[in-house]
Amino acid sequence: MGIKFRITVMNFLQFFAWGAWLISLGGYMIVKLGFTGVQVGSVYATMGIASLFMPALMGIVADRWINAERLLGISHIFVAGLLFWASFVTDYNTLYWIMLFVSMFYMPTIALNNTVSYSILEQNSFDIVKDFPPIRVWGTVGFIAAMWIIDLFGWTVSPIQLYLSSAASVVLGIYAFTVPACPPENKSKGDSIVSALGLDAFVLFKQRKMSVFFIFSMMLGAALQITNTFGEPFLHDFAGLYPDSFAVQHPSVLMSVSQMSETLFILTIPFFLYKFGIKKVMLMSMFAWVLRFALFGIGNPGGGFTFLILSMIIYGMAFDFFNISGSLFVELEAEPRIRASAQGLFMIMTNGFGAFIGGVSSGWIVDYFTVNGVKNWPNIWFTFAAYALVIAVAFMFLFKYKHKPEAVKNAKV
């Protein structure tokens, strides 16, 4: 079994386990459990709380003490047990705390998965910028496969989605122990206190381009989970007007078009990074988020179905050009000895501060535009679109970075 194939399987399982519940859990909580927008948003915000410190801590451990692939496996086994428990819970307080611990163990695995993938590719003399995106695309395929299974078996508002995710996490937890070893690279006993504590990556804030990059990563990170949180509840709300429509009958399949779009845009990342550089790629992502939300605002399962499809398609650019390109940018800019910590820091800013702000504020916005149980979805989505537009314009003027195509093309990270 080839090295790239083995990493591909790992990426597939990593995102299959997440895709089984990430998009559909919001609908389950609103439709079956009767949670409010703030409650649903706060459950999703647990990913932000956990990402404030857990990815960095896991990155530190992987940089200094425990093989990254072993840490990845242990984390997924813990996640499996917690998700199985969550499937039996129906009250908000208990589910909130369980999902907080799920997030504490799952969110670091996204960065660890990247670290393990990068390390193995580097060990085998592959070009990460060129070879990783086609591998990572299979993570998106896994995410889509899980969504389709949940939808086609009628589990979008059922706890069975949590059983499936739990099973996938067990499989990945065991599989991670079989991939090539990724030992810590930073074991020097002569390091400073800051280095010994694993805070090396925070020195990146001394560079203006990196500090601005991380701040805007946080701001854009607030947008990442909004449609994941409220996309399916939005579609479920059309059940009264369009009960037999495809969007209402198969919301997860429709939402999966977003992930299908990812598979295409991921493959374009090397070209766009070489050709345009991180600033223009990030700007494309930000304006794509404006369109993602605005198209939701004018779309519906009837005459506005085309707008929903267009929103799904644009999601690929919105997500990948920020998340994957940002991760590669950090990988290129950080020194080898702090790469795992740097990836953890990127996660803190995007899936930490960003996701927490996005989860809590989006819940408030949804409830603000809800009157007598009826949600004004156009106003909700246009509010999110306006936020993304402000970020894009500000980033255009504040982020200074001179693109050097040959430096990216010839980078061996």
Residue 142 falls inside a structural domain: yes
Between CA 275 and CA 137 the distance in angstroms is: 21
Between CA 380 and CA 226 the distance in angstroms is: 11
Domain limits for position 223:
3-184+196-409
3-state secondary structure 335-372: CHHHHHHHHHHHHHHHHHHHHHHHHHHHHHHHHHCEEC
Question: Tell me: the pLDDT tens digits for 254-297?
Answer: 998 988 888 788 788 888 888 888 888 889 999 999 999 999 99
How many domains would you assign to the chain? 1
Question: Tell me: the pLDDT tens digits for 8-38?
Answer: 999 999 999 999 999 899 989 998 999 998 9
Residues 198 and 362: beta-carbon distance below 8 Å: no
At residue 42, the pLDDT reads 93
Query: What is the pLDDT confidence band of residue 61, given thresholds at 50, 70 and 90?
Result: confident
Question: Tell me: the pLDDT tens digits for 286-343?
Answer: 999 999 999 999 999 999 999 999 999 999 899 888 887 788 778 777 777 777 677 7
Question: Tell me: the pLDDT tens digits for 196-243?
Answer: 444 567 777 878 888 888 889 898 888 887 887 888 889 989 988 899
Residue 190 falls inside a structural domain: no
Residue 77 falls inside a structural domain: yes
At residue 305, the pLDDT reads 95
CATH number at 207 reads: 1.20.1250.20
| Distant-in-sequence, close-in-space partners of 240: CB < 8 Å, separation ≥ 6 | none
Residue 363 falls inside a structural domain: yes
Question: Tell me: the pLDDT tens digits for 96-147?
Answer: 999 999 999 998 898 889 889 988 888 887 778 778 888 888 998 899 999 9
Whether residue 187 is predicted with pLDDT greater than 70 in this model: the reply is: no
H-helix or E-strand containing 374? strand 374-375
| Distant-in-sequence, close-in-space partners of 280: CB < 8 Å, separation ≥ 6 | 272, 403
Residue 368 falls inside a structural domain: yes
At residue 200, the pLDDT reads 67
> C-alpha angle with apex 206: 220 to 352, nearest 5 degrees?
30
Share of residues in the chain with pLDDT > 70 (%):
93
Residue 139 falls inside a structural domain: yes
At residue 188, the pLDDT reads 44
Q: What is the pTM of this model?
A: 0.78
Residue 189 falls inside a structural domain: no
State whether the Cα torsion 44-50-56-62 is positive or negative: negative
Question: Tell me: the pLDDT tens digits for 382-406?
Answer: 999 999 999 999 999 888 777 666 5
Residue 191 falls inside a structural domain: no
Query: What is the pLDDT confidence band of residue 193, given thresholds at 50, 70 and 90?
Result: very low
Of residues 251 and 413, more confidence is placed in 251
